[in-house]
Structure 1
Amino acid sequence: MESDYAVMVKRRLALGNLMPRIRTAYRKGEIDAETVRHLTLASKAQQKDWLALFADPEQYAPRGFQLKQWLFGGQSIPTSAALFPVEDYPGQIVADLFGEDAYFADADLFWQKQNEAIAAKRDALLEAGWAEVVVLEPGQYFHSWEHEKTPKTKGGKVFIAVSHRGEVEVHEGWLSRKEVRRAAKKAASADADGDATEAATVARPEATKAMQNYLDLHRHAVVRLALVAHPGVALRLMVAHAVASSGHWQVEPEPQQAGSDAIAESVANSPAQQAFDAERQAVLALLDRPDYHHSVTQPGYDAYPTAVVFAKLLALSDDDVLRIAACVMAETMAAGSAVVEAVGNHLGVDAGQHWQPDDAFFDMIRDKAVLNAMLAEVAGKRCADANVAEKAKTQKKIIRDCLDGANGRAKVEGWLPGWLAFPVRAYTENGSLKTADEWARVRNLFDAA
């Protein structure tokens, strides 16, 4: 505890750091003690700016708490909020000589260091065996009444809450009430079946339904384009469909039903879709068939059209027949199926040759953990860690800046998200991704091949 003498010395030093006009106004009672205290945090330039406002009757000179906000650009962050060692902060720390308060002068630099410390905390918790660590956005509160305490062994999560002032709170061992009910229902079902009940992490979809629809259609587009270039594979696949009567072998084309106008526009403008449409027109010309339905395959019940096509095929070369067969197989292959995954992986499809990230792709990403993992791919783990608590909008902006080479960031060429790669790569260990599930069903068939 400081002596009265030491406190008096600090106050005199603080007042001595103020410009004479401020000290005079304080002695005359024109400025209150709280305002003077905050002015001891100001640089000489800031004191001059404040005095200009104070002297102008038409301007408002901020006082008290508003003055502290004015001095720190609207965000005064005390050193007590740091999750990292304060000595690791390379910027200036401003101390109030009237008291014990100290603040980070550079809020952006503080948040960079704080986010890196939060990311390290997250990684340590995951290594400690927690199923999931959720980093909330700054200012987003953790409401315990909406959750139930759940131990690590039963799939409990950790929530890291960050205030606008930088304070960090770690809430270990919680699940939302909805997740608890879902887990209880699953356990009851297992008991009813006579199976041993084990604690299991509640899986949540890694991608939204809209994103899954987007991925299914884009993956379908690039795989069937690849199929056109491999008629031998397409012919064998066609025979398999005929034997097993699976997918769209009725016969009808894949409808490519988009869940929104944005997805429909994205797929229609994709290079893979446009290249396939051009090949389809060439095949229609070979068959001398009009493009009534924008497809080579046109379902019907009358045998006469089939006989007409058969007669035409008899007059064509083997190469032309194989070309038509490949196009028909590609056209009837079901989007979002294990068949797309099997063909794409067998042919080593590189979706990056026919796809570029567009607005529809970024607009549908909802999972922040996924987004942070993508940021690590394009900008490196350090950048991702430094922005782990930032809003999704901010992280998306950094990714796009890296891809475009904008705002001083080095341009990243050829980035392909794991969701569109063959084989597909998920971004979270405990999340579910329909595409990955489809590939898992058939992967062993091709690993041995």
Structure 2
Amino acid sequence: MTEKTLEELKRALGLKETFFISLGGQSPLLSLLTYGAAVLSISGFFSPIAVLLGTLLVLLNGSVVSRLSLRFQDSGGYYTYASRALSKALGFQTGWLYAFYSILYGCAYIFGASYLLNLVFGLPVYLSISVLLIPSVTLLILGVKPSSKYAVVVGALELGVIVFLSIFFLSRTHFEFYTLKAPNLSVGKLALAILLASSIPTGYGTVAPMSGEVINASKNVGRAILLVILVGGALASFYMYSLSDLLQTFGGASLVSFHTIFKGTALPVVLLACLSDGVLAALAFMLASSRTLFKMGRDLALPRFFAKVRNSNPLMSSLIVSLAYISICYSLSWISDPFHIFVVLGILSSLASLATHIAANFSLLRLSLNDAHFYEFALSLGAIAVSALDLFYSLTSVALFYLLILIAWTLIGQLYSRLRRLSHDNLSVS
């Protein structure tokens, strides 16, 4: 291997670029049109509170990651945290699970946007997938600088559209506000609604693996994480309340057609933002997963070719992630309708995300015990308890095959890790 292969990535992202890439991973507008629809179908007019509770869960876990980013400023994110704070074996499992989460999460956004394009324009699913994947993959291969410029422009547009839509919904009800009432939901259903709601403001998870490319990462990564959660969560709750208010005016908590809600100029604005946001959502998670695989390759947790760098871009990891997205999206598009696939991938990736964050929480817990830092100890312990509780109740509310897929992926990772260690041991002996 050449020295070029082992070079680190250059730091080129300031706070603004880091914030908007994180916002891209959050993709609040597309999340509200997809995950928001799922939350609404489960919790009805209680959905604004479900989104608020989901935001609090995300803020708790995000605060943990923010503290960890103060200690570790290189690439890899959750993989790096667990490897350094816990053990290399647990670090590999965390990185392995994060790759599962980030790739499926990005694919879920592709299918969510494809569903909307198919619903409104009647665009064939395979064609809408192509429209979203081609620019995402192109920007990923070009590198982080052009990707961050795209994120800033699209992210700013998206925030403006969410504010516009929220006020637009309220104006159609003549600003008559409804009173939130306690939901008639089981604990499991409420936990599932909170889990899906937490998927709306959770894009900060894309920034942690990119810490090695952030200028002054010890400050800017943590700031971007907390800022994007608070901004995204507040706007999402406002949007869900205004939408629920509108739906109650229509006479029920069911999703009415886009042509009924988004009349006149609102429809093209939403679709334009949705299309550009679908690209940005996939791109943000592609960047995150490729940086995680890159770092695992550098540490020999994965084959060294994952760490190949060209023009400060992890080329091989980016190509492999691109192939994974292309394979998953096109193969699944023939199995079922895009919204059903979106829900399946969304639930799977959300469960994996919770498990990944529990690993990060334990990483901070271990570090806080070593440093006798009470605030970090209390924060990590609280995050572990809340995340584990939500994960448990969510698992009791979904089909068994979700759990089986997660277990299967974890076992495959353990098997690969052990075989790789045995191979290294045999080479060392010989």
TM-score over 0.5 for the pair: no
Going by fraction, where is strand more abundant, 1 or 2?
1
TM-score (norm 1): 0.22
Structure with higher Rg: it is: 1
TM-score (norm 2): 0.23
